[in-house]
Chains A and B, each alone.
Chain A
Amino acid sequence: MNIIVCIKQIINSIINQESNNKRYGLNPFDEYALEESLKVKDMLKAKIIVITMGTPDAEFILRYSISKGVDEAILLTDNAFKGSDTLATAYTLFKAIKLINNYNLILCGKQSPNGNTGFVGPELAEMLNIPHITCVKRIKSINNTVVIVDRLLDIGSEVLESKLPVLLTITKGDNISRLVSVKGRILARKASIKIWDMKFLNMESNRTGSLGSNTHISKKDENNKQKNKEIFTGNASSIAVKIVDKLLENKII
């Protein structure tokens, strides 16, 4: 069984437990995807490859993945990849996966907290011409031809079955990331990371980066966050009372 997991470095909203790098972290949904792939490897003979497209310092999320038990890591990095939207990102990942060629299962995170589109996985599956299932919270069973998954719905969940190869996008389920072992940590430090650039991927420059992107950010409204901000002052216990009152008033609790 060959598994490819696509992971993405994010600027931290949630600081990952293991990274020494405070500013950057691994997309938490990719953490779930990674754990699902490792659970498959616990059950049957599998090789896991992680790939990320990003800047050179994204290397640490690859080493982190190796410390958890991943076998191989590839960093897609090139100045030309800068400014990729979801389509260009998916295309770049697609070219890399074409080069790897040998896969039965591809896992992505359901979404990422900064881009938040959830597009990359499905786009990638379309390009590879394989089926995909989004919002998977658990791989229930898998063999060399078929996978059965639990897919999260607004209310409850559904059980779906797919032939392999298939792409799954993973959300939170019973997949809290395992702890890193000492041997894993030592291995990760010494592991060699493959670095592939645009030339290596044999890509047309108008299919990646901002040139390859159909969507462009024309305006950003940073003030959005500030809108409903209210600062409470006083000592801790009086602030606590004010916060609770406010939450009650807005029917949040």
Chain B
Amino acid sequence: MVMNYMLSEDEKAIIDIAHSVAIQKIKPLRKYYDEKEEFPYEIMKEFAKCDLCGTYIPKQYGGLGSGIMGLVLLIEELCKVDGSIALSIAATALGTLPIILFGNDKQKTKYLPDIASGKKLAAFGLTEAEAGSDVCNIKTVATKTGDFYIIDGIKCFITNGGDAQIYTVFAKTNFTKGARGISCFIIEKGQQGFHFGKKEKKMGIKSSSTRELIFNKCKVHKDQRLGKEGYGLLIAQTTLNNSRPGVAAQALGIATGAFEEAIKYARIRKQFGNSIISFQAIQHMLADMATEIEAARSLLYTCARTIDSKIQKRISKESAMVKLFCSEMAVRVTLNSMQILGGNGYLRDYPIEKMFRDARITTLYEGTSQIQKNEIAANLIREFSTK
């Protein structure tokens, strides 16, 4: 039983509908998509029909207007069943947030309704071969010529790459200005000079596509630039502060799903004449898991609500804490669930090994756990220097 978080009726509706899609449409196919490493287009259609693509998009642009909380509840619920398929929505949110947060009305009107209706997916293009944690080291360049920018460079590890239609891409507009030399652009699939590289083969989240974005003299109108020139890093950081709860929700959902499998199994598996749930060693593992899960959920929901309320100007510390705690927790919980299932936990006939593989990514992308700690510590140092 989940604690009562005083959710609104609209929020409960999101959970309910997500639950029925997860159980009826995703569960029967999760193994198929994992093994085939296929992008789940059929399930995307179900998400669209059920209004699940734009929970976080403002109402005036066709979304449900439920904010980051609406995104978090959706991703958590879907990830209880499959931590990979829901990523297409979470990564779309990551690619869409720069438009919601920094787009002008014309850009929002052009892009948000199609994303909210599920007609188009989005992606976020920041990482490059030499710029992972060190984002300022990107080499992709946007050279201004009249009303246009010419973009050259290669992005790697881009979720939804190739399957999304709308990309928010970061490129250097000035190499001498360091952090102030980065700008953000909206680039559409099909634009001349924009191609995709190889699809990565991954340990988990296999139904999610991860590809390179290749820009070769890609000509983009200046109206496609988000915010002012040189504000790209701010856009990226603000976006990540808002999107990290989405990754945390993915982690929390996977952990909850694994925990439920573990406790169900512990009740029916008998050894030494008793259900293994009667052994204190198993009970304590379950108690630890349940406690960590609920702690993670409390922190996550509080952070999401705080972001939506806009009452707190800086949220980077809490957002990093949520991502750090939920993702590391999910790795522990999925591992312990595997332990409770014994040898069966290691078999592909049971869902736990996939849950572990899927959970593992959450400590890596949108900033590794080490980078989250750096962010938290930087905030702490700032806070305590003024005391």
Contact = CB atoms under 8 A, between A and B. Distances in A.
A181 B20 contact: no
Taking residues whose C-beta sits less than 8 angstroms from the other chain, chain A's interface range is: 10 to 19
Contact of A180 (B20, B25, B55): B20
B13 interface: yes
Interface string B1-45: 000000001100110110011001100000000000000000000
A177 B368 CA distance: 43
A239 interface: no
Interface string A184-196: 1110010000000
B14 A182 contact: yes
Contacts of B52: 182
B18 to A, nearest CB: 8
A178 to B, nearest CB: 7
B28 to A, nearest CB: 14
B46 interface: yes
A179 B50 contact: yes
Main secondary structure of the interface of B (DSSP, over half): helix
Contacts of A182: 10, 13-14, 17, 50-52, 55, 64
Contacts, number: 39
Interface of A: 17-18, 178-186, 189
B305 interface: no
A189 B11 CA distance: 13
Counting chain A CB atoms within 10 Å of each CB, the highest count among B9, B13, B20, B21 belongs to: B13
Nearest to A189: B9
B49 interface: yes
Counting chain A CB atoms within 10 Å of each CB, the highest count among B10, B17, B55, B64 belongs to: B17
A180 to B, nearest CB: 6
Contacts of A17: 20, 24
B9 A181 contact: no
Nearest to B50: A181
Contacts of B46: 179
Nearest to A180: B17
Contact of A185 (B16, B21, B25): B16
A180 B50 contact: yes
Contact of A179 (B9, B10, B49, B64): B49
B134 to A, nearest CB: 40
Nearest to B14: A182
A18 B20 CA distance: 8
A183 B55 CA distance: 10
17 contacts: A17-B20, A178-B49, A179-B17, A179-B20, A179-B21, A179-B46, A179-B49, A179-B50, A180-B17, A180-B50, A181-B17, A182-B13, A182-B55, A185-B13, A186-B10, A189-B9, A189-B13
Nearest to B55: A182
Contacts of B49: 178-179, 181
A39 to B, nearest CB: 13
Contacts of B10: 182, 186
Contacts of A184: 51
B55 to A, nearest CB: 7
Interface in B355-369: none
Given A179-B21, A186-B9, 20 more contacts: A17-B24, A18-B20, A178-B49, A179-B20, A179-B46, A179-B50, A181-B17, A181-B49, A182-B14, A182-B17, A182-B52, A182-B55, A182-B64, A183-B51, A185-B13, A185-B16, A185-B17, A186-B10, A186-B13, A189-B13
Which 4 residue pairs are nearest across A and B when measured between Cβ atoms? A182-B51, A185-B13, A181-B51, A181-B50
A184 B10 CA distance: 11
A183 B17 CA distance: 10
B6 to A, nearest CB: 17
A186 B50 CA distance: 12
A178 B13 CA distance: 16
Contacts of B14: 182
B51 to A, nearest CB: 4
A183 B64 CA distance: 8
B12 to A, nearest CB: 9
A178 B46 CA distance: 10
Interface string B316-338: 00000000000000000000000
A193 to B, nearest CB: 17
A18 B16 CA distance: 9
Contacts of B20: 17-18, 179-180
A186 B51 CA distance: 11
Contacts of B64: 182-183
A53 B337 CA distance: 50
Contacts of B50: 179-182
Counting chain B CB atoms within 10 Å of each CB, the highest count among A17, A179, A183 belongs to: A179
Counting chain B CB atoms within 10 Å of each CB, the highest count among A179, A182, A184 belongs to: A182
Contacts of A189: 9, 13
Contacts of A178: 49
A178 B50 CA distance: 10
B316 to A, nearest CB: 30
Nearest to B20: A179
Contacts of B24: 17, 179
Nearest to B52: A182
A23 to B, nearest CB: 19
Nearest to B70: A182
A188 to B, nearest CB: 9
Nearest to B21: A179
A186 B9 CA distance: 8
Contacts of B21: 179
Interface in B60-93: 64
A17 B20 CA distance: 8
Nearest to A182: B51
Contacts of B13: 182, 185-186, 189
